[in-house]
């Protein structure tokens, strides 16, 4: 079982949970929408890096939808990111051997999320994103950037046991 990135719950309103995340270091890759991104990232944490270290898997796996200029983790509709272990600064994360893998840092931030179960079909993700955006608008909370998907389980986990979340950075 993978470790999960830590966060503090700062509030809840209906299905929306508000969280504060510490700064994160991510390994990110742009992929053509197949398993290429996952495979590149898995190779990176399995030792395809300059120090040949294995890096523990940390959940969630983050995938994105669009290109906000202020958040390099979310780079295009088909980017995928693995979170590096909590408390590991960028200087301690080995550089990748494959140039398609980028190491990026995200400063601490506040995020609003809605959790859902299942295989995270495009329809489920789109519906959850709409609910999140509508809920934030009703609450008068400003969203920063674009929504992103966080998946917490390995691929063999049955759908009814899967934990998925749609999140978006917020300012309150």
Q: What pLDDT is stored for residue 79 in this prediction?
A: 86
- Ordered by where they begin, the domains of the chain are 3-171 (3.20.80.10)
Q: What pLDDT is stored for residue 72 in this prediction?
A: 31
Q: What pLDDT is stored for residue 172 in this prediction?
A: 82
Contact partners, residue 89, CB within 8 Å, separation at least 6: 25
Q: What pLDDT is stored for residue 65 in this prediction?
A: 61
Quote the tokens at residue 142: 């400003």
Strand, helix or coil for residue 124 = helix
Q: What pLDDT is stored for residue 75 in this prediction?
A: 36
Strand, helix or coil for residue 80 = strand
60, 153 in Cβ contact below 8 A?
Answer: no
Long-range CB contacts (< 8 A, 24+ apart) of 8-13? 10/110, 13/135, 13/139
CA quadruple 81, 85, 88, 93: dihedral sign? negative
Strand, helix or coil for residue 39 = helix
Q: Quick one: which H or E segment has residue 4? A: strand 3-4
- In terms of phi and psi (left: phi > 0; alpha: psi -120 to 50; beta: otherwise), the region of 33 is left
Q: What pLDDT is stored for residue 147 in this prediction?
A: 92
Q: What pLDDT is stored for residue 134 in this prediction?
A: 97
pLDDT digits (tens, 9 = 90+) for 56-83: 989 999 988 643 333 333 334 578 999 9
pLDDT digits (tens, 9 = 90+) for 78-87: 789 999 998 8
DSSP 19: E
Residues of the chain with pLDDT under 50: 66-76
């Amino acid at each position: 079982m993978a470790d999960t990135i830590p966060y503090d719950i700062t509030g809840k309103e209906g299905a929306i949970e508000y969280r504060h995340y510490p700064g994160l270091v991510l390994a990110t890759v742009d992929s053509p929408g197949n398993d290429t991104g996952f495979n590149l990232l898995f190779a990176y944490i399995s030792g395809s890096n300059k120090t040949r270290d294995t890096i523990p898997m940390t959940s969630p796996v983050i995938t994105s939808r669009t290109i906000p200029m202020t958040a390099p983790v979310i780079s295009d509709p088909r980017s995928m990111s693995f979170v590096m272990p909590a408390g590991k600064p960028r200087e301690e994360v080995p550089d990748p051997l494959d140039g398609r893998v980028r190491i990026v840092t995200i400063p601490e931030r506040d995020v609003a999320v809605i959790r859902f179960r299942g295989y995270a079909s495009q329809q489920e993700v789109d519906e959850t994103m709409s609910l999140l955006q509508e809920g934030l608008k009703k609450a008068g909370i400003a969203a920063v950037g674009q929504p992103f998907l966080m998946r917490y389980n390995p691929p063999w986990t049955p759908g009814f046991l899967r934990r998925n979340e749609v999140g978006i950075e917020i300012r309150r």
